[in-house]
């Protein structure tokens, strides 16, 4: 080894550049190999976590629960029916036409074949999928909860979540955000179960059936006295407003609004 250091001048410019190149190539190869090999398991984990969040929004699981793929499958088979909704008409896609549980809504809204440009909105949504997923939760015969997928632009990236509504298609039962890039300690509190509990019992719509639920600055009243307002996240005004915008968008006329109207009137063929 002593020979190696004297045989060539390690500080020659040509050698320095070659050395840097070789180090970069080796490092890149190591990182790329790891990323490619681990990708399938990461994707499976992400999917499991997403479905777990459907169960959390529905109150069928707790955030701390350690659920395996088999556990989630069992709960889904027992309580959950995934269906697709045509967002424009609000009609349910026939059950046998498509496997709604395997439906990839993000892929659908990025694919020009199955999406269209979104109307102007404050939620940072550029494209709308033609179909969106809805989960019917049945503890007995009748549907007793609806879980809807929502997304929108937060402070640093898109936030993905689920909102669960009572059969009146108005009262919030639960809310989760399972993927976001908000500031740790401030906006990231959107994922906190404590804040998500504040949503329980709030109403989405005013008496004209306009989606008016709003995250305000400060503390909102009780769900009975102040049903359209939710406590703001302190130090996270941008994130709070983003939640307001994306909820109003997805539960409004361009989102699940037409479907929820039909459901409320008993026209949805569940």
User: Which 140-169 residues touch another protein, going by CB under 8 A?
Assistant: none
Least separation in angstroms between residue 34's CB and another protein is 4
Does 185 interact with another protein (rule: CB under 8 A)? yes
Least separation in angstroms between residue 52's CB and another protein is 9
Which positions ≥6 away from 64 have C-beta within 8 Å? Answer: none
Where does this chain touch another protein (CB under 8 A) — which range of 32-40, 74-82, 117-125, 219-227?
A: 32-40
Does 116 interact with another protein (rule: CB under 8 A)? no
CB-based burial label for 29 (10 Å; 0-12, 13-18, 19+): exposed
Q: How far is CA 223 from CA 51, 119, 206, in A?
A: 28, 31, 13
Does 68 interact with another protein (rule: CB under 8 A)? no
Q: What would the 3-class secondary structure string for 60-128 be?
A: CCCCCCCCCHHHHHHHHHHHEEEEEEECCCCCECCHHHCCHHHCCHHHHHHCHHHEEECCCCCCCCCEE
Least separation in angstroms between residue 176's CB and another protein is 13
Least separation in angstroms between residue 151's CB and another protein is 17
- What does the binding site for another protein look like in residue numbers (CB under 8 A)? 1-2, 4-5, 10-11, 15-16, 19-20, 23-24, 27-28, 30-31, 34-35, 38, 41-42, 45-46, 48-49, 64, 184-185
């Amino acid at each position: 080894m002593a020979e190696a250091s004297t045989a060539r001048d390690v500080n020659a410019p040509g050698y320095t550049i070659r050395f840097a190149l070789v180090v970069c190539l080796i490092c890149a190869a190591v990182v790329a190999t790891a990323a490619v090999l681990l990708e399938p398991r990461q994707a499976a984990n992400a999917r499991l976590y997403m479905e777990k969040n459907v169960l959390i929004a529905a109150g069928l699981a707790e955030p701390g629960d350690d659920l395996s793929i088999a556990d989630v499958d069992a709960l889904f088979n027992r309580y959950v029916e995934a269906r697709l909704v045509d967002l424009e008409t609000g009609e349910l896609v026939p059950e046998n036409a498509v496997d709604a549980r395997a439906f990839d809504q993000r892929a659908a809204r990025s694919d020009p074949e199955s999406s269209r440009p979104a109307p102007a909105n404050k939620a940072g949504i550029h494209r709308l999928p033609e179909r969106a997923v809805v989960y019917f939760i049945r503890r007995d015969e009748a549907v007793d909860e609806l879980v809807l997928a929502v997304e929108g632009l937060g402070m640093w990236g898109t936030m993905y979540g689920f909102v669960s509504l009572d059969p009146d298609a108005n009262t919030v039962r639960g809310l989760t955000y399972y993927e976001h890039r908000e500031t740790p300690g401030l906006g990231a509190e959107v994922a906190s179960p404590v804040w998500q509990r504040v949503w329980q019992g709030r109403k989405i719509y005013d008496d004209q059936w306009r989606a008016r639920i709003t995250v305000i600055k400060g503390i909102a009243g009780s769900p009975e006295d102040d049903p359209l307002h939710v406590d703001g996240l302190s130090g996270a005004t941008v994130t709070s407003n983003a939640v307001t915008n994306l909820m109003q968008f997805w539960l409004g006329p361009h989102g699940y609004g037409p479907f929820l109207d039909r459901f409320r009137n008993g026209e949805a063929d569940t």
